[in-house]
Amino acid sequence: MAHSKKELQRKSSHLLKIDEEYTTITEPSSCREPKLKNIFLIELNVSCIFQEETDIAERRRTAANQLMTGFRSETVRWRQELNNMKNRENQLLGNCLLGARFLAYLGPFTFEIREELLHNQCNNCID
């Protein structure tokens, strides 16, 4: 019986030791829980901020792509306009000479005949 009592004391002290370890392990976790919740909330807010910034960057990228597509189509239109201007520039000297020749031709006629030829006949040629 003495041996059983001794064994009981040993196991009781071992149980007390385990109980103390358990309380030291569980007590800090309950103290850490509010801190962990705060850290979690802070990280959640940071994550939301990063997501918002990502969404903004995505919208800006989409707008920039649309703008670049618009610039490409404008570049095509500007090149066509440039080619049209070059053609008109090539024809400009001939048109000026033709106009000067027409005015020189009208010089000897009276004002009424010149006006008739210039406004009526010339407009028919242009149309």
Q: What is the pLDDT of residue 13?
A: 85
pLDDT exceeds cutoff 80 at 1:
no
Give mean pLDDT, residues 103-127.
Answer: 79
Average pLDDT of the chain to the nearest whole number: 84
Q: What is the pLDDT of residue 126?
A: 63
**Candidate ranges 6-15, 51-60, 86-95; pick with highest mean pLDDT:** 51-60
Cα–Cα distance for residue pair 127/116, rounded to 1 Å: 16
- pTM of the predicted structure, to 2 decimals: 0.44
Domain that holds residue 116: 2-126
Cα–Cα distance for residue pair 67/75, rounded to 1 Å: 12
Q: What is the pLDDT of residue 27?
A: 66
Cα–Cα distance for residue pair 73/67, rounded to 1 Å: 10
Cα–Cα distance for residue pair 22/39, rounded to 1 Å: 25
**Element of type H or E holding 55:** helix 2-106
- Residue 51 sits at φ, ψ, to 5 deg, of -65, -40
Give mean pLDDT, residues 9-16.
Answer: 83
Overall number of domains in the chain: 1
Give mean pLDDT, residues 48-72.
Answer: 93
